[in-house]
Amino acid sequence: MKYDFASIEQKWQKRWDEEKTFAAKNGDSRKKFYALIEFPYPSGQGLHVGHPRPYTALDIVARKRRMEGYNVLFPICFVDDAPPTENYAIKNHMHPRTVTENNIANFTKQLKMLGFSFDWDRCVDTTDPKYYKWTQWIFLQMFKHGLAYKSSMPVNWCTSCKCVLANEEVVNGFCERCGAPVVRREKSQWMLKITEYAQRLIDDLDDVDYIERVKTQQKNWIGRSTGAEIDFATTEGDMLRVFSTRADTLFGATYMVMAPEHALIEKWADKLENLDEVREYQAAAARKSDFERTELQKDKTGVELKGVRAINPVTGTEIPIFISDYVLASYGTGAIMAVPAHDERDWEFAKKFGLPIIEVVKGGDVEKEAYVDCDKGVMVNSGFLDGMSVEEAIETMKRWLEEHHLGREKVNYKLRDWVFSRQRYWGEPIPLVYCEKCGWVPLPESELPLMLPDVKSYEPTDNGESPLAHMDDWVNTTCPHCGGPARRETDTMPQWAGSSWYFLRYMDPHNDSALVGKDAIEYWNQVDWYNGGMEHTTLHLLYSRFWHKFLYDIGVVPTKEPYAKRTSHGMILGLNPHNFANLPAEEQERLVKEYGSEAGAKKYLVEKFGEMASHPIVKMSKSLGNVVNPDDVVKTYGADTLRTYIMFLGDFEKAAPWQDNAVKGCKRFLDRIWNLAENRLEGDEYSAANEREIHRTIKKVGEDIENMKFNTAIACLMSLVNQFYEHKPSRGDIRALLTLVSPFAPHIAEELWELQGFEGMACQAAWPQYDEAKTVDSEKEIAVQVNGKLKTTVVIPMDADDETVIGIATADEKIKRLMDGMHLVKTIVVKNKLVNLILKPCK
């Protein structure tokens, strides 16, 4: 009988579905395990071959845990990615809901086809009012606790989505989603005070098991730095406050710089001799997009505020004040003291504007360049700091500032508050109304959910107003507080809102009276293992940690952190069809002939296809035609092969290229298993010839799954199968193999399990145990080195002592020859591994 993967896979998927094999049970007495993956955005293109990588990985973990006796929660849902869905809907004249529903149906079909052990009954839909009722509820709690506020400020404006973006959504001055340029606009926005949680978001990383690169990226993004705030007196009497991490260099501060948006400028407007020039600069800075600001970063610009000067508190010198867009309004105090001798940016600016540069730390040549890495230098030209080390000077200066009430220690964070409103239709309405008398008033909780109204036209508008703003019937309402006329907030929430707490809803998806029931949250507690993409490290992951901490503070959840463990997968890349190495041999030959040499051929390819052609491995893209569709792979090879290959192709954490012809190897592996087990075997004990290999494989596969070394786990299973071809397996041997294979290739495992007549289902069998003693041999082949060089190998009894090992090694014919005329100076024995004989010629 042939391995008919298509019908086998269908058969078992249907059975799992009907019997609800993977349903998690709330309150069950078994130990619980909660595995979580990031849902796919249900885009119109369907599943990408990259999706199954993290899903298969955690499916393997979830399946193993069930076999180990855990009550496993492994849920899935679809969270709408608002702007793309809406854009697609606009383009195709459809309602966003229809688009989302179609996409979800397609994704569900595709995911089911891959045999993931999701509990499909816990699907949640963040766009369902029953769900977003609770998203709105959480927002209201934040509002009531002062964590949501409306503020007018320059925001990132995507010129294509016609919508405000959070800082985290802007990549190099372009929109993270659509790639259009982002400009700055002054707008009144709802903000969430994530900055209030900055320190806790850093500190609590110590208590969770996240892979290191996730922790570092989060810490870098939050960007804590310790320094001092220093107050400079000005000739106008107003105090100009700055932040500096280098208080020690205060004697070298020769001028000040304020951000063009700094509030004091308005206050000083009357006094400024060059007000027109200042105004012009301010306007130009406001017009620049983020991209332009960074592009032009080498060329410093600025305008002096003529008529106002600051006084250096330690030297008493009057120094000029400039405005320049190299100082950011949103960080620190929006103003700096410039120390050109020891800061590259200040140095450039000082050179351009001919400002004095005073060296205060000895060691560099401050006429040539700023001396920045000067931690080990000694203070000079610095009055009472002279002769001190930098470290000492910082401390001394901080004390001096405090004593004179001119400054204090201060911690700053790069993290900004989260811009939370979007001028889009397709999002959760913000449940607040504005009343002339009472201000912003929350809706009573009994009125939640505030439904998104049906609307004919949901295109974004150019004036930056949400499409909801035109719906007078909806907008005009009464104030819940005073009963007077009021208007609803017309901006909606960003797509990150619903996804900031969705993992809680899985615990209790149908609860109408709470976002998650008390019993449910106490039972499931927190996510045990969450795997997701690195691209969400500074977005979703940070946002959801923030929301969770807030929910912890108001007593809704019992843990400070939502996820006990976080891992991340590498991307699936494709081969570049334009790269020389990936061309068919005949084509390579032809090009080499035509262009004289391989180098010539490569040069030609780069000329023809651009720089890109020099990279053999690239992201999959439609234009290169190297996109792999999982449907096709499943059709040709089956889901089990796809799952096995995607786990086998390389280190899970690293990017790896998809190679079509390598998939065959995994199909062959499954074929070979099929051939071994399609006929009923005899003997329920492990066969003597295979026993040791089986114990070793159980150990290795188990450990590898825990460490996400799926590729070597499969390699080890392949070796076991090869072993079974040498030594015919018993029915017991096959049973062990099938249980180990079952998390990776669950369908074929079930089918063969049934054919062998084992009880129940393979996915419900107990995970096999190994006996450490049985994983080892009685003998061991070890390396024999002479003077550190490998000469031969010998077989020793396992765990033999040093003397025995040296005896066996020196008795070897070849070693004997090498020892001729030499004497043994030293021996090094590494137990069960190697012996190294140090020989010297006899005199």
Partner RNA sequence: GCCGGCGUGGCGAAACUGGCAGACGCAAGGGACUUAAAAUCCCUCGGCCUUUGGCCAUACGGGUUCGAGCCCCGUCGCCGGUACCA
In the range 202-261, which residues lie near RNA by CB under 7 A? Answer: 212-213, 216-217, 220-221, 223, 225, 227, 243-246, 259
Give, as ranges, the residues between 161 and 190 that touch RNA (CB under 7 A): 167-168, 171-172
Q: What are phi and psi of 439, to 5 degrees?
A: 80, -150
Q: Draw the binding track, 344-363, toward RNA (x: CB under 7 A; -: no contact).
A: -x------------------
CB atoms within 10 A of CB 473: 7
Contact 611, 605 (CB under 8 A): no
Nearer to RNA, 116 or 724 (CB): 724
What's the number of CA atoms in the CB half-sphere (13 Å) around residue 798? 7
Contact 266, 308 (CB under 8 A): no
The span of 24-32, 68-76, 289-297, 764-772 binding RNA (CB under 7 A) equals: 289-297
Nearer to RNA, 170 or 736 (CB): 170
CB atoms within 10 A of CB 509: 20
Residue from 90, 606, 689, 783 in contact with RNA (CB under 7 A): 783
- Minimum CB separation of residue 630 from RNA in Å reads 18
- Minimum CB separation of residue 710 from RNA in Å reads 9
Asked if 788 is part of the footprint of RNA (rule: CB under 7 A), the reply reads: yes
Contact 257, 349 (CB under 8 A): yes
- Minimum CB separation of residue 563 from RNA in Å reads 19
**Whole-number Å distance between alpha carbons of 165 and 176:** 9
Asked if 534 is part of the footprint of RNA (rule: CB under 7 A), the reply reads: yes
Nearer to RNA, 151 or 216 (CB): 216
Nearer to RNA, 64 or 410 (CB): 410
What are the percentages of helix, strand and coil residues in the chain, rounded to 5?
A: 40, 20, 40
Q: Is 417 helix (H, G, I), strand (E, B) or coil?
A: coil
Nearer to RNA, 294 or 804 (CB): 294
- Minimum CB separation of residue 683 from RNA in Å reads 22
Residue from 455, 790, 798, 824 in contact with RNA (CB under 7 A): 790
**Whole-number Å distance between alpha carbons of 322 and 255:** 8
Per rule CB under 7 A, count of chain residues that contact RNA: 89
**Whole-number Å distance between alpha carbons of 23 and 19:** 9
The span of 133-141, 180-188, 191-199, 288-296 binding RNA (CB under 7 A) equals: 288-296
Give, as ranges, the residues between 626 and 685 that touch RNA (CB under 7 A): 648-651, 654-657, 659, 661-662, 664-666, 668-669, 671-672, 675
- Minimum CB separation of residue 568 from RNA in Å reads 10
Asked if 621 is part of the footprint of RNA (rule: CB under 7 A), the reply reads: no
Give, as ranges, the residues between 459 and 518 that touch RNA (CB under 7 A): none
Give, as ranges, the residues between 697 and 736 that touch RNA (CB under 7 A): 709, 711-712, 714-715, 718-719, 722, 725-726
Residue from 83, 96, 260, 334 in contact with RNA (CB under 7 A): 334
**Whole-number Å distance between alpha carbons of 706 and 543:** 27
**Whole-number Å distance between alpha carbons of 156 and 175:** 9
Nearer to RNA, 764 or 785 (CB): 785
Asked if 395 is part of the footprint of RNA (rule: CB under 7 A), the reply reads: no
CA 205 to chain centre: 14
Nearer to RNA, 297 or 457 (CB): 297
Tell me, what amino acid is at 480?
P
405: left (phi over 0), alpha (psi -120 to 50) or beta: left
Give, as ranges, the residues between 752 and 781 that touch RNA (CB under 7 A): 781
- Minimum CB separation of residue 168 from RNA in Å reads 7
**Whole-number Å distance between alpha carbons of 225 and 412:** 5
CB atoms within 10 A of CB 474: 19
Nearer to RNA, 282 or 466 (CB): 282
- Minimum CB separation of residue 345 from RNA in Å reads 4
What size, in residues, is the chain?
Answer: 843
Q: What are phi and psi of 440, to 5 degrees?
A: -80, 125
Nearer to RNA, 527 or 718 (CB): 718
Token pair recorded at residue 319: 């120094």
Map tokens 């400009």 to a residue.
183
CB atoms within 10 A of CB 842: 8
Token pair recorded at residue 2: 């042939």
742: left (phi over 0), alpha (psi -120 to 50) or beta: alpha
- Minimum CB separation of residue 511 from RNA in Å reads 36
Beta bridge partners of 190: 150
Give, as ranges, the residues between 812 and 841 that touch RNA (CB under 7 A): 814, 826, 828, 830, 833-834, 836, 838
Largest CA distance in the chain: 110
The span of 20-28, 327-335, 387-395, 423-431 binding RNA (CB under 7 A) equals: 327-335
**Whole-number Å distance between alpha carbons of 564 and 729:** 41
- Minimum CB separation of residue 373 from RNA in Å reads 8
- Minimum CB separation of residue 237 from RNA in Å reads 23
Nearer to RNA, 505 or 696 (CB): 696
Nearer to RNA, 90 or 153 (CB): 153
Among candidate residues 194, 12, 1, 70, the one with its CA nearest the CA of residue 742: 12
DSSP 8-class letter at 767: P
Beta bridge partners of 71: 32
- Minimum CB separation of residue 753 from RNA in Å reads 21
Nearer to RNA, 441 or 783 (CB): 783
Give, as ranges, the residues between 396 and 435 that touch RNA (CB under 7 A): 412, 414
- Minimum CB separation of residue 61 from RNA in Å reads 18
Q: C-alpha distances in angstroms, 567 versus 37, 538, 547, 708?
A: 10, 14, 20, 9
Nearer to RNA, 372 or 380 (CB): 372
Q: What are phi and psi of 104, to 5 degrees?
A: -65, -40
- Minimum CB separation of residue 818 from RNA in Å reads 8
Q: Is the dihedral of CA 205, 211, 216, 218 positive or negative?
A: negative
Nearer to RNA, 715 or 755 (CB): 715
Nearer to RNA, 263 or 790 (CB): 790
- Minimum CB separation of residue 147 from RNA in Å reads 21
Residue from 75, 83, 332, 732 in contact with RNA (CB under 7 A): 332
Strand 32-37 relative to strand 71-73: parallel, antiparallel, unpaired? parallel
Burial letters 14-47, b for 16+ CB under 10 A, else e: eebeeeeebebeeeeeeebbbbbbbbbbbbeebb
- Minimum CB separation of residue 207 from RNA in Å reads 20
CB atoms within 10 A of CB 506: 23
Nearer to RNA, 554 or 581 (CB): 581
Asked if 615 is part of the footprint of RNA (rule: CB under 7 A), the reply reads: yes
- Minimum CB separation of residue 326 from RNA in Å reads 3
Q: Is 157 helix (H, G, I), strand (E, B) or coil?
A: strand
The DSSP line for 688-712 is TTTHHHHHHHHHHHHHHHHTT-HHH
Give, as ranges, the residues between 557 and 586 that touch RNA (CB under 7 A): 581
Nearer to RNA, 291 or 440 (CB): 291
- Minimum CB separation of residue 570 from RNA in Å reads 8
Nearer to RNA, 137 or 221 (CB): 221
**Whole-number Å distance between alpha carbons of 589 and 598:** 9
Residue from 238, 535, 631, 678 in contact with RNA (CB under 7 A): 535
- Minimum CB separation of residue 69 from RNA in Å reads 28
Residue from 11, 185, 200, 293 in contact with RNA (CB under 7 A): 293
